[in-house]
Structure 1
């Protein structure tokens, strides 16, 4: 069985290169690997909004680098009054995706760094953005170890959307657990939901699993319950875009129905996310804003319309899984089993 060290950060969703943000355009995967070269904060915001980059941690990292670009441009324009202009750029970045709390967490952290700076702000801000990036990778490896330790015996697992290197700084959250669990012999195979309408499972997760030589089977989202009933999976392992103070979990649309099916079939349900995803200011899932995108995304497939003309389409991007359907939340700080408000507060130290 391969060592965990085999799965290094050979896939980078976001990187800082030659004074600009390079963003792997995930809309083109798996057929084309191409990086967007983004030189302004507005371009970074557009990349986030238009799904060139996705996954809550990767969005936060991209936004942090976007702040560096904003500060560089505004300081060059007006060394005395650049702060006010940067504040407007931060608002543009914040508006790019409303559900992923990592975006706002990263912008707030960069804002705190920015507040104490005198003179050219770029070196200090770039150091902070790089720290955010590096800390995310380290957190993912820690979560991989903690999550894999929960899987007692060799079994198959099921995952949804994409939670790997493409969604993070590297290694992945839920997919990091899968990588670690496979390396330790705890996971034998992976069933990946295709994840309509953007097909992150079919295009991205399947691509990462094949890249790392992990046995993978792609299934339609509607086949998940049948796979659970077959006895082929022992765990469902997913990520999150925001976790409320009581342990309710917002994640890619389709996660809630997986949790319901898992509970019925006696399959364990694990959520893996860094503490930057936990929003203790949100009391429960009902208070989490759920992004809705254009209905045409549901009515089309690969740019080709497949739905009947004139039909309406509803396209919520996320749903909320109640805490009582979650067996474990794994963060870099530890594991909360059967999460509730007290367990989340203890883990977060509040």
Structure 2
């Protein structure tokens, strides 16, 4: 099937439209992840960077810049910056979560060790700041530096709130805005900024990325309870086993009676899980309509992302970004 065919996946159509830019991004990534003094750095980085990820975040930067009429070279630097930040956070996340699988492959911390993953992640953060500076835009540096700080804040907040049954949907949204949406919104916003787009368009790009990132994470959390392990690269119920208080469980806890709340306190709060607990958790999520309510929230954020796009120029990239918002939530339709 042609990538121009309307039924082709939006990220595939984006990749086809941005093929030359993506090739330049990949060349820059390979050049900047090199290290003469520490060969383990490119080994660890290549394991994750070349593991078949969709390059969604850098594509958002490239598309935003192209849609805004940019013709210079620095959207490539910014796209590589975004991918380096994303890769660094994945390396750190897998250490924090003690993960053993990422994109269907063993994690770097499993193949090497935690120290290597943390230090290589630090190296990629440093490389990302070098790339930002090369654009010569203080505003771009401000946006991406703030995003990096916000990501770290979101991860720390999740660390302290993940097993606390008092965590509500407001706290969950702050976590998601930090750990996921911050990089989505920065990726789209800097594309508009580097192109010198009018302020209403820059704001719209930020709003689009924010809403898309929130929808993306909500769907990811939902798929943990009803997804296909082969498609998602993770086992159903991993979040439950890791005691992560994600949106479906937050909704179920809010509706729980005393007996149900005691179950969540034992399994999530205290981590005392027994055989059959996951099945019981799934029954409780179904009983209170938590999965469907979560799905509706994801659809609502996707709709906000599409609404933000109406300010942007009506071209092929805008259409693909609108389709992308639909595709993100189509996984749970």
Tell me the TM-score normalized by structure 1: 0.26
Higher relative contact order (CA 8 A, sep 6+): 2
- Structure number with the higher strand fraction is 1
Tell me the TM-score normalized by structure 2: 0.27
